[in-house]
Structure 1
Amino acid sequence: MKGKKFFEERTDQSEVKARIVAKYFATWAKVVMPSAEKADKKIAYIDLYAGPGRYKDGAASTPLLVLDTAIGNPQIAKMLVAYFNDVDQNNTATLQEEIQSLPNISTLKHAPIVTCGPVDDDAAEYFNATRLVPSFSFVDPFGYKGLSLKIVKGVIKDWGCDCVFFFNYNRINAGISNPSVKHHMDALFGEKRAEDLRNKLPGLSPELREAAILEELAAEIKSLGGKYVLPFTFKNSNGNRTSHKLIFVSKHFKGYEIMKDIMASESSVVDEGVPSLSYSPADASMPLLFSLAQPMSKLRGMLLKDFAGQTLTLDQLYESHSVGKPYIKKNYREALKELEDAGKISATSVKGKRRKGTYPSHVRIKFEGET
């Protein structure tokens, strides 16, 4: 047996990241399997930087969590093709051992595939040229080498294909203006957007710098076909600086909605029921810093302004308004109920009676100002 090699440290952030990915895989699989069963009868999980499978303390990392989910669900076990890659041969050897040691691993119809190799231009070309079965892909490089949006484009291009990637904000923030890593930054943002950032960032405050970087990244992803982009932010131990971001990409609002609910449940701060979509070890010890935003008041005001004179359902309102905002569907229901109680909107069922304060699909919500 080869000498085992483990991730040296399991941080709170790494646990949150792994849970988000594993939770989304489980829910995504249930959504796509009915359609996939009529076609290729396969779904895929793709992890391009899989690591050795466990942390030093023995806790499972993402690959083993995903496989545990598949083993525990007979339908997923029948359809899942799991593909794991890492550039480090020690990692892949250890991961293979860990996979074989999983209880009931033989119940998977398709044995997990483990490969060792770089994630480079050849990999990007392969994913862009190959039709994929419905796939959920995870790209978690160390730093920025190998993180190319051409890869993201390739793994989301087909039906049922979503992607999440880990974005080392600290290293990328420092690397944008570093000539020695220019080609890596160009691969991530695209040459024009990377150059625009180099011109735009000097002199900006840390907050505006972060916003500008995320804006350009999201714009480039959308230009490549990723209609919905949802970031989850990890802060440093003091809670005052961003260290990493987990970026989710999908072509469909359903995926966006599912992932937002998952990220909401992993947020370390919830203010008036509105999740921060971030995790910081400092949040629990400094609650006062996060209790002053009054986000629900802002949401109620936005709804009255943005939908003045309109009549629509809750689903229509949520899909058109929630993208790019931290609010989840529960927040919209609460805001609508408060607005209805205040007499600022009315709600009418087109299919019999309704219980006040509820907004199922047959209820039409009317905002003041309609003529």
Structure 2
Amino acid sequence: MKFFEERSEASEIKAKIVSSYFAAWANVIIPSAQKFGNNINYIDLYAGPGRYRDGAASTPLLVLETAIKDHKIAANLVSFFNDVEVGNTTTLSEEIRKLPGIQKLRHPPIITCGDVDEEAAKHYNKVKLEPTFSFIDPFGYRGLSRNIIRGVIKDWGCDCVFFFNYARINAGITNAKVKQHMDSLFSEARADKLRSILPGMEPALREAAILEELANEIKSLGGTFVLPFTFRNETGNRTTHKLIFVSKHFRGYNVMKSIMASASSTEDQGVASFAYSLADASMPLLFSLNQPMSKLKTELPRYFAGRSIKFKGLYEEHSVDRPYMEKHYRLILKELEADGQITVSTNKSNRRPGTYAEHVTIHFPQVT
């Protein structure tokens, strides 16, 4: 497959995000899974051959290398790798066999060859999964459907990342020849809505509309938290792909947010872009015009007007679907307190100004 002939920086970023989250997810999930006698699963539905032509490891090998290095993961991981091409699965089997330390895995990786179709979707919706992290990276959009996503996230401890070929899906939404594929991803109702509003819409608004409908559909399937990471072309003026993370738990969302933020190629006022483009390094001013920290300082007093709230509740409520991390909220609250725009109360006498531990309640005045 041509995709694996040459490794790109974008493919390295994608693999790093997925393997980094897998390690964090596994270490959080394993103690709870063990209490119920469960293993943890990793599922890759489009695994590829395991290496690029230059010899660099792709996601399957990076995930297994992570497991080999951690004895807890090695003892509890059941991994499933599938691809639609027998040549890929044959090569992947050989590459896995050659991994140093592969014998440390208690459960040998399971490798299958088959199409990811509606039968596969029915299977995942029918069976009860042990805690599972799934990666869905189709070549294009065939095989990526709302039913597959629902199936792999429905059970406890199940998170998912899928690669969303924005360029092809953007073109496909209004293409009657691939209507069935678009309907299976967005739902027919949402796809019809997009077909009615997208024509004539400028590219940035078009991208936002497509992503919003996709996120809303995933949330309707039970994916409470949806976090996209954008890949742009080499000139930085066009989105090519998006990596979409889905979880039912804020903790997973927050971990992935930190990983994606660190993988971003630019930041504005210290707030990550959640995007990667080679152009960002050479044209940073193009991507530093939004002033996000200034917006956060203006928004928080309005959003929480008249309310009293602990920091944890404030952060978990406001940060979802926004690019801000915990450090940004602590910084802005410190500024707001110094400016007299908020007050705090606590039962501790030695609280340092500008700190927001669990014993501190933050009070926002009514906006007049």
Q: Secondary structure at the match of 1:186?
A: helix
Q: Secondary structure at the match of 1:265?
A: helix
State the match for 2:151 in structure 1.
154
Q: Secondary structure at the match of 2:229?
A: strand
- Tell whether the 8 Å contact from 2:266 to 2:273 is kept in structure 1 after alignment: yes
State the match for 1:183 in structure 2.
180
Do residues 125 (structure 1) and 134 (structure 2) align? Answer: no
In the aligned structure 2, how far is the partner of 1:329 from the partner of 1:296?
Answer: 12
In the aligned structure 2, how far is the partner of 1:27 from the partner of 1:348?
Answer: 35
State the match for 2:60 in structure 1.
63
Residue of structure 2 aligned with 1:10, choices 7, 11, 28: 7
5 Å-filtered alignment, 1:192-341, equals 192-341=189-338
In the aligned structure 2, how far is the partner of 1:6 from the partner of 1:57?
Answer: 12
Cα deviations across residues 5-44 of structure 1 (Å, max 9, x unaligned)? 9811111111110000001000011111111001133000
- Tell whether the 8 Å contact from 1:140 to 1:165 is kept in structure 2 after alignment: yes
Do residues 35 (structure 1) and 32 (structure 2) align? Answer: yes
In the aligned structure 2, how far is the partner of 1:356 from the partner of 1:298?
Answer: 23
In the aligned structure 2, how far is the partner of 1:31 from the partner of 1:138?
Answer: 18
**1:292 Cα deviation (Å)?**
2.3
**1:324 Cα deviation (Å)?**
1.0
State the match for 2:347 in structure 1.
350
In the aligned structure 1, how far is the partner of 2:348 from the partner of 2:186?
Answer: 49
Unaligned runs of 5+ in 2: none
**1:353 Cα deviation (Å)?**
2.4
5 Å-filtered alignment, 1:130-149, equals 130-149=127-146
In the aligned structure 1, how far is the partner of 2:315 from the partner of 2:250?
Answer: 10
- Tell whether the 8 Å contact from 1:230 to 1:260 is kept in structure 2 after alignment: yes
- Tell whether the 8 Å contact from 1:239 to 1:283 is kept in structure 2 after alignment: yes
In the aligned structure 2, how far is the partner of 1:350 from the partner of 1:112?
Answer: 54
Do residues 368 (structure 1) and 365 (structure 2) align? Answer: yes
The residue type equivalent to 1:125 in the other structure is K
In the aligned structure 1, how far is the partner of 2:238 from the partner of 2:367?
Answer: 45
Unaligned runs of 5+ in 1: none
Cα deviations across residues 194-248 of structure 1 (Å, max 9, x unaligned)? 1111111111001111111111111111111111111001111110111000011
Q: Secondary structure at the match of 1:244?
A: strand
Q: Secondary structure at the match of 1:24?
A: helix
In the aligned structure 1, how far is the partner of 2:186 from the partner of 2:132?
Answer: 24
Q: Where do 4+ consecutive residues of structure 1 move more than 3 Å?
A: none
Moved more, 287-296 or 204-213: 287-296
**1:352 Cα deviation (Å)?**
4.7
**Percent of aligned pairs with the same residue?**
64
- Tell whether the 8 Å contact from 2:47 to 2:60 is kept in structure 1 after alignment: yes
Q: Secondary structure at the match of 2:78?
A: strand
In the aligned structure 1, how far is the partner of 2:367 from the partner of 2:345?
Answer: 15
Give me the CA root mean square deviation.
Answer: 1.5
- Tell whether the 8 Å contact from 1:351 to 1:362 is kept in structure 2 after alignment: yes
Q: Secondary structure at the match of 2:33?
A: helix
In the aligned structure 2, how far is the partner of 1:243 from the partner of 1:352?
Answer: 54
TM-score, with length taken from structure 1: 0.97
In the aligned structure 2, how far is the partner of 1:5 from the partner of 1:151?
Answer: 25
The residue type equivalent to 1:7 in the other structure is F
The residue type equivalent to 1:276 in the other structure is S
TM-score, with length taken from structure 2: 0.97
In the aligned structure 2, how far is the partner of 1:300 from the partner of 1:74?
Answer: 44
Cα deviations across residues 77-131 of structure 1 (Å, max 9, x unaligned)? 0000000000011100010001010111001000000100000001000000000
